[in-house]
């Protein structure tokens, strides 16, 4: 899998699970009960999605590049920014 890291946005509202999304991989998300689980499952979700991503995995932007995106400020509001490396190991093992 890739040595690239993707910026993830982790959100958590009171009385909800942790959710992660990736500005450079639209539609790739995971929702889990703990922060650690959402990071792990987010990596698996990225890896799984990139197996069939049209045109190959998108090139991740740096934090500086994301901050120049007018939509990013809204997406990142109240989020914890994390760097996630795609991991498809669990899916490869299941095949």
**Could you read off the pLDDT of 22-68 as tens digits, one per residue?**
999 999 999 999 999 999 999 999 999 999 999 999 999 999 999 99
Domain assignment present for residue 10? The answer is: yes
Would you state the pLDDT for residue 65?
96
pLDDT given for residue 11 in this prediction? 97
Q: Which among 80, 69, 13, 7 is positioned nearest to 43, based on CA atoms?
A: 7
Domain span at residue 41 reads 6-94
- 1, part of any domain: no
Q: Which stretches of the chain are assigned E, i.e. beta strand?
A: 6-12, 18-21, 29-32, 80-84
Q: What percent of the chain has pLDDT over 90?
A: 85
List the one residue out of 5, 4, 1, 13 whose CA is nearest residue 81: 5
Residue 85 near residue 13 (C-beta atoms within 8 A): no
Enter the pTM of the model: 0.87
pLDDT at residue 81 is higher than 90: yes
Task: Assign residue 86 the CATH number of its domain.
Answer: 3.30.160.250
- Note the pLDDT of residue 25: 97
Q: How many structural domains compose the chain?
A: 1
């Amino acid at each position: 899998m890739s040595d690239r890291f993707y910026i993830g946005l982790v959100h958590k509202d009171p009385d909800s699970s942790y959710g992660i999304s990736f500005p450079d991989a639209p539609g790739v998300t995971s929702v889990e009960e703990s922060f650690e689980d959402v990071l792990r499952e987010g990596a698996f979700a990225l890896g799984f999605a990139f197996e069939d991503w049209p045109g190959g995995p998108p090139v991740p932007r740096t934090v500086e590049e994301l901050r120049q995106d007018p939509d990013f400020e809204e997406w990142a509001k109240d989020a914890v920014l994390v760097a996630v490396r795609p991991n498809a190991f669990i899916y490869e093992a299941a095949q």
